[in-house]
Amino acid sequence: MADILIAPSILAADFGNIQAEVEMLNSSTADYIHIDIMDGVFVPNISFGFSVTSAIQKHATKPLDFHLMIEHADPYLSLCRDHGAAIISVHYEACRHLHRTIQAIKSMGVKAGVALNPHTSVSLLEDVIEDIDVVILMSVNPGFGGQKFIENTYNKIKKLRQLANAKGTDLKIEIDGGVSLSNALQLKEAGADILVAGSFVFNSSDPKDTIQSLRNV
Q: Which residues are catalytic?
A: 36, 176
- Report DSSP state, residue 61: -
147 binds, among ligand DX5, Zn ion, none (CB under 5 to 8 A by kind): ligand DX5
145 binds, among Zn ion, ligand DX5, none (CB under 5 to 8 A by kind): ligand DX5
Binding mask 176-205 for Zn ion (x = CB under 5 A): x-----------------------------
Q: Count CB neighbours of 121 within 10 A.
A: 12
Taking CB atoms, the residue at the shortest distance from ligand DX5 is 198
Q: Contact between 207 and ligand DX5 (CB under 6 A)?
A: no
Phi, psi (rounded to 5 degrees) for 166? -60, -30
Residue 9 within binding range of ligand DX5, rule CB under 6 A: yes
Work out the burial of residue 14: count CB atoms within 10 Å of its CB; fewer than 13 is exposed, 13-18 middle, 19 or more buried: exposed
The single residue among 31, 84, 95, 177 that binds ligand DX5, judged by CB under 6 A, is 177
d(CA 210, CA 217): 11
CA dist., res. 98 & res. 7, Å (int): 24
Q: End-to-end alpha-carbon separation of the chain, Å?
A: 11
Element (H, E) at 211: helix 207-215
- Residue from the set 67, 91, 156, 188 that interacts with ligand DX5 by CB under 6 A: 67
- Which residue of 147, 186, 204, 212 would you call a contact of ligand DX5, by CB under 6 A? 147
- Strand, coil or helix: 9: strand
- Strand order through the sheet with 172-176: 5-8, 194-197, 172-176, 134-138, 111-116, 85-91, 64-69, 33-38
Name the residue nearer to ligand DX5 (CB basis): 29 or 141.
Answer: 141
The least CB distance from residue 6 to ligand DX5, in Å, is 11
Give the residue, chosen from 13, 22, 33, 34, that forms a contact with ligand DX5 under the rule CB under 6 A.
Answer: 34
Q: Which amino acid is at 127?
A: D
Binding mask 74-113 for Zn ion (x = CB under 5 A): ----------------------------------------
Residues at the contact surface with ligand DX5, assessed by CB under 6 A: 9, 11-12, 34, 36, 67, 140, 142-147, 176-179, 196-200
